[in-house]
Amino acid sequence: MYVATLLTNPTTPSLEVPMVDALRNAWGGGEVTWLNPGEAAEFTLPEMPDNRWDVWADLQEMGVDLVVQPSEGRRKKMLLADMDSTMIQQECIDELADEAGVGERVKDITARAMNGELDFEGALIERVGLLKGLDEAVIDHVLNTRITFMPGGRALVATMRTAGGYAALVSGGFTAFTARVAAQLGFDENRANTLLTENGQLTGDVQRPILGRQAKVESLERITATLGLSEGDVIAVGDGANDLGMLGRAGTGVALHAKPSVAASCDVRINHGDLTALLYIQGYSKADFSV
């Protein structure tokens, strides 16, 4: 048995009953359950539709995300999340680079690295090198003035933890950012890279080993082993090429507002919804959300 979930951007809910009913009828689905009127609905299916991706593409033009997945085991026991452009709306290194006067150069490298065009480790070393001499106090300034949370993140973490789940933030960014973000959103743990400082300034280097794509996979392996969970018990979310390893290994890997090459590698793609989409695709209704 499968389940189809349709959802939209919560700030402009546009999911209409006739459209949902028409798709349910065309696919021979079960009764529609509205997880939140106008925003998210689901129905069961006896088999995976052959035209799933054609329908997905049509719905994308209407501002609607479609996820079709096996119904068994879709409610997960662990959240494994990327930070930059996933749990927060920015790339922390780009914001630091703006303060250092090298913003455009670093943003270009970041975009290419996240799309898989550059080696992540090499790209990180190059970008951090451009921050050499930046006052360490700028980190707090950026955190206080430039960093905003991705909508739905607090509800996602709180709801999964209320249901007994575990939440881990694993980032190719920096511990100075993940520590604050994890604490404010309620994550159980966080892992990231450490910017090296000397005499109150960034040295232009990062502590080794560098946490990149493989380290995120290793975090998945380590945490599930520690908790006695299977990788199938995990829902992982990210947007960049360095997230593909963990997205491919997790029971449900979600490409959230992801780079094209990343989205193309994932069966679950959220382009219009926010982080609450990860709750809807697990079968939570809006009434189930913890805030």
- Do 169 and 182 form a contact (C-beta atoms < 8 A)? yes
Instruction: Indicate which residue of 84, 233, 243, 274 is catalytic.
Output: 84
Close Cβ partners of 164 (under 8 Å, ≥ 6 residues apart): 77
The one catalytic residue among 54, 65, 82, 94: 82
Q: How far is CA 53 from CA 24, 25, 50, 136, in A?
A: 15, 17, 8, 47
Catalytic (active site) residue 84: yes
- Is residue 50 part of the annotated active site? The answer reads no
Nearest-angstrom CA–CA distance, 283 and 78: 15
Q: Residue 246, SS3? A: helix
| Crossing angle between the packed helical segments 120-129 and 92-100, to the nearest 10 degrees | 30
Which residues are catalytic, by number? 82, 84
